[in-house]
């Protein structure tokens, strides 16, 4: 059974950093692209970025809104994808989801999602 487990969320002060993890099971993480999506309280979904599989160079693409502040990486040997978030702002408060990409070269659809992890940015 394919499963994604998001972790690493919590309360963080503005300006600080946080790293989220997405642990995969039931499939080979290295064979797929992985995405991060967030949802602010009471708001809609926002795509943040993705990382291609090693087959396609393991390169990344980001939303313009987070480019330069957020970094996605992967450790295929451990089956974990990461979202490194720097210089956090109050508007980054949201539930963060990892999601498996159904198409590898460009972000397209997301066939499995983690349960989400809540990040609260506040002093």
Partner 1 sequence: QSALTQPASVSGSLGQSITISCTGTSSGVGGYDYVSWYQQHPGRAPKLIIYDVSNRPSGVPDRFSGSKSGNTASLTVSGIQAEDEADYYCSSFTSSSTPLVFGGGTKLTVL
CB of 99 to partner 1, least distance (A): 8
Per-position DSSP letters for 34-82, written without gaps between them: EEEEEE-TT--EEEEEEE--GGGTT-EEE-TTTBTTEEEEEETTTTEEE
The angle subtended at Cα 65 by Cα 62 and Cα 69, nearest 5°, is 70
Nearer to partner 1, 9 or 102 (CB): 102
Binding residues for partner 1 restricted to 82-111, rule: CB under 8 A: 97, 99, 102-103, 106-111
Binding residues for partner 1 restricted to 17-76, rule: CB under 8 A: 35, 37, 44-47, 50, 61, 63-65
Binding residues for partner 1 restricted to 7-26, rule: CB under 8 A: none
Tokens for 106, please give them: 């460009």
- Cα–Cα distance between 10 and 74 in angstroms, integer? 21
Site of interaction with partner 1 (CB under 8 A): 35, 37, 44-47, 50, 61, 63-65, 97, 99, 102-103, 106-111, 113-116
């Amino acid at each position: 059974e394919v499963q994604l487990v998001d972790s690493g969320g919590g309360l963080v002060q503005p300006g600080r950093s946080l790293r989220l993890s997405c642990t995969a099971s039931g499939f080979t993480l290295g064979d797929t692209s992985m995405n991060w999506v967030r949802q602010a309280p009471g708001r809609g979904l926002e795509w943040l970025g993705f990382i291609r599989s090693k087959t396609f160079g393991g390169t990344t693409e980001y939303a313009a809104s987070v480019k330069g502040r957020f970094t996605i990486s992967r450790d295929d040997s451990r089956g974990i994808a990461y979202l490194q978030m720097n210089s956090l702002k109050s508007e980054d408060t949201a539930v963060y989801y990892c999601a498996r990409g159904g198409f590898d070269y460009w972000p397209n659809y997301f066939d499995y999602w983690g349960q989400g992890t809540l990040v609260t940015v506040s002093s």
